[in-house]
Amino acid sequence: MTEMWQSVTRKVEMDIPFVVKDVVLNDPALAEAVLRIQLLAHQVEVNWLNYPALPVMWHEVSQVMACRDRVIGAFEGEALRGVLVASKRQQGGWHIERTVVDPAHFGAGWGYRLLNYLLADADEVSVDTAEVNAAAIALYHKAGFVLEQRWNVPDGLVLWRLLYQAGRLCPVVHLEPSGWVREARQVPSPNYDAREHGRPELLVIHNISLPPYRYGSQAVEQLFTNSLDPDEDPFFATIRQLRVSSHFFIRRNGQLVQFVPVQARAWHAGVSSWQGRERCNDFSIGVEMEGCDFEPFTDAQYQMLLALVQELRQYLPLKAMTGHEDIAPGRKTDPGPYFDWARVRREIDLPM
């Protein structure tokens, strides 16, 4: 990649844009911040649902501090942006009691970050939400929840119980002789050329999010097809001139997108070296995971990655799998500390 891309990504990766963590509500200042956000978000939700009877979890700081459920907080610097409260289920796993985000920061991804943190080490999670709460249902569907039960409360509100189960998906993919994966959404990129040194031996894992730390847009596809609109986000103007690509992109929901056939050389690694060999693009396959250095990847992503690698190994002489940070140390940090190499190693018999 160009020096511009190197400098832009280095600056982004050095910053810590957010922290999501378990919190204990024994600090009155934190408890007061939690109460404030809950009450503000509650009022917005009442208006959205047109349901004044919607209960609040807490009315005063002392009730917040008495909470014995699991509480996860999302912070931007020292500022609290959102809270997720979950209780232990008798049958195991977690039940989400409430997810609230500061209304001044709606639409910035805080609800998803809280949910993603909870799901990172959970086998099963349930949640109840109103059928008319389209934003909440879309959030849970995006994270892999499915409808388990639908019922009416006495005053007519329709509720959904949604359930998440890790390992629910069992993707199957097929590599065609053309070098394209049949089940992938194929978005051909112009940013590739012919391999000059044989077939790919190395699989390189990256992470990417555009805008930074935001998921679900078409911006990654636009970047890899030279169609990024610089007016959509200030960051886009700094990278619009790049000519980069990857073979594959795995979205948060596990969807597989392919840009370059595996026989061709995608432009994903930049200045790089593996076992003394320079120019890793010449002999590698690039897989971009939708994500960043600061939060876990999803179960659906790992399942698709594992299915993809198992299929590629049937037809390509892959010898190893590594991270972008390992072939470009000091310049790159992806896929980052949250990528679960141990999980991948258990399933894939490739040196890492």
Which of the following is catalytic: 13, 45, 183, 288?
288
Closest residue by Cα to residue 169 from 310, 300, 344: 300
Give the contacts of 181 (CB within 8 A, at least 6 positions apart): 173, 174, 175, 248, 256, 258, 308, 311
- 243, 257 contact by CB (below 8 A): no
Q: Which two tokens stand for residue 289?
A: 């995971």
CA-wise closest residue to 280 among 220, 321, 338, 226 = 321
Cβ-based neighbours of 7, under 8 Å, separated by 6 or more: none
Integer Cα distance of 259 and 98 in angstroms = 39
Alpha helices in the chain (DSSP H): 3-14, 28-49, 61-65, 110-119, 134-142, 219-224, 234-239, 299-315, 324-327, 341-347
Q: How far apart are the C-alpha atoms of 215 and 234, rounded to whole Å?
A: 16
Q: The tokens of 286 are what? A: 């690039």
**288 belongs to the catalytic site:** yes
Query: What are the residue numbers of the active site?
Result: 288
